[in-house]
């Protein structure tokens, strides 16, 4: 470690802008009046105060504009609002859905497991096949689909028990499939994306109130890529995307439909 001449450092701090040789500890008494020796210090304090005022009044907004976290948050908020508008209007603009989804995924928002709860979340847009669809029909895929409000697909996470229930309607409430299982976070990340392992242990075909067991079992990894109080986005390892909206919020967005 290089020794530091403390007294020299203090002496130089009082003479800002002047090149002064280091002085010994017991320097001879200065003949300069006290008020003159303090002048550089007063100037330094005044300049620092002026600099602080400039930073507060003008420079700070500029710094905020270049802050990547501020920019990501603002961009995510705007994209989330526009996506909610498309959902409320039941827009079929798949290209815009896809662009907004990619913007939200890039924000890497903070994560809390409790956010996964809140009851059933309905799928409003998919790009590729969902995990339970792959379990039923391997190879299922699509290039981007805005789901129908007639036949719903939903997912219900129960954080306290780490259970998950998937539901997919084929003919509304008359014919639908459920796939149940468990889930487990696979990393300690506090920001998204969050890797989650989903295990499907059983499936059931529901026909007019009759339940028929289905031999559905399997597991897979999925990333929670974005979440807020209304929207969440999952991305599979293969790149499939599922955009979901909390069922109660979706009803509000679409006017109770």
Instruction: Select the highest-mean-pLDDT range: 31-35, 201-205, 239-243.
Output: 201-205
pLDDT of residue 238: 85
For the segment 182-204, the average pLDDT, to the nearest whole number, is 97
Indicate whether 53 belongs to any domain. Answer: no
Indicate whether 5 belongs to any domain. Answer: no
pLDDT of residue 153: 92
Res. 219: pLDDT tops 70:
yes
Domain limits for position 159: 111-253
Indicate whether 26 belongs to any domain. Answer: no
* Residue keyed to tokens 């304090």: 45
Indicate whether 47 belongs to any domain. Answer: no
Indicate whether 177 belongs to any domain. Answer: yes
Domain harbouring 166, CATH code: 2.40.128.280
Q: Is the peptide bond before 250 cis (omega within 30 degrees of 0)?
A: no
Beta strands 145-146 and 163-169, pairing class: unpaired
From start to end of the chain, where are the E strands?
Answer: 120-127, 145-146, 153-158, 163-169, 175-185, 194-207, 210-214, 218-227, 231-236, 241-246
Indicate whether 99 belongs to any domain. Answer: no
Domain count, the chain: 1
CA gap 243, 230 in Å, rounded: 11
Alpha helices by DSSP H, listed for 89-148, are: 94-105, 131-136
Q: How far is CA 189 from the centre of its chain?
A: 12
For residue 103, give the nearest of 194, 191, 225, 246 by alpha carbon. Answer: 225
Residue bearing the bigger pLDDT, 196 or 73: 196
* Pair of tokens at residue 37: 């020796």
pLDDT of residue 257: 53
Contact 222, 131 (CB under 8 A): yes
Contact 173, 209 (CB under 8 A): no
Indicate whether 96 belongs to any domain. Answer: no
* Pair of tokens at residue 16: 């800002």
Indicate whether 54 belongs to any domain. Answer: no
Q: What are phi and psi of 233, to 5 degrees?
A: -130, 130
- Say if pTM beats, i.e. exceeds, 0.85: no
């Amino acid at each position: 470690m290089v020794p530091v001449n403390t007294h020299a450092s203090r002496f130089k701090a009082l003479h800002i802008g002047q090149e002064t040789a280091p002085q010994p500890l017991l320097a001879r008494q200065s003949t300069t009046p006290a008020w003159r020796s303090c002048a550089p210090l007063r100037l330094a304090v005044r300049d620092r105060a002026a600099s602080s005022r400039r930073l507060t009044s003008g420079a700070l907004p500029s710094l905020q504009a270049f802050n990547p976290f501020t920019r990501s948050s603002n961009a995510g908020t705007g994209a989330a609002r526009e996506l909610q508008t498309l959902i409320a209007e039941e827009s079929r603009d798949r290209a815009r859905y896809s662009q907004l989804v990619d913007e939200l995924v890039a924000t890497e928002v903070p994560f809390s497991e409790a956010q996964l709860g809140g009851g059933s979340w309905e799928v409003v847009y998919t790009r590729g096949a969902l995990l339970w669809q792959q379990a039923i029909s391997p190879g299922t895929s699509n290039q981007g689909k805005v789901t129908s409000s007639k036949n719903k697909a939903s997912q219900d996470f129960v954080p306290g028990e780490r259970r998950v229930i998937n539901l997919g309607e084929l003919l509304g409430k008359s014919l639908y499939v459920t796939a149940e299982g468990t889930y487990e976070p696979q990393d300690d990340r506090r920001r998204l994306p969050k890797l989650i392992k989903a295990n499907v242990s059983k499936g059931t075909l529901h026909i007019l109130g009759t339940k028929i067991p289905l031999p559905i079992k399997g597991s897979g990894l999925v990333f929670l890529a974005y979440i807020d109080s209304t929207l969440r986005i999952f991305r599979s390892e293969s790149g499939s995307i599922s955009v979901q909206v909390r069922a109660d919020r979706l009803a509000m967005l679409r006017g109770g439909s």
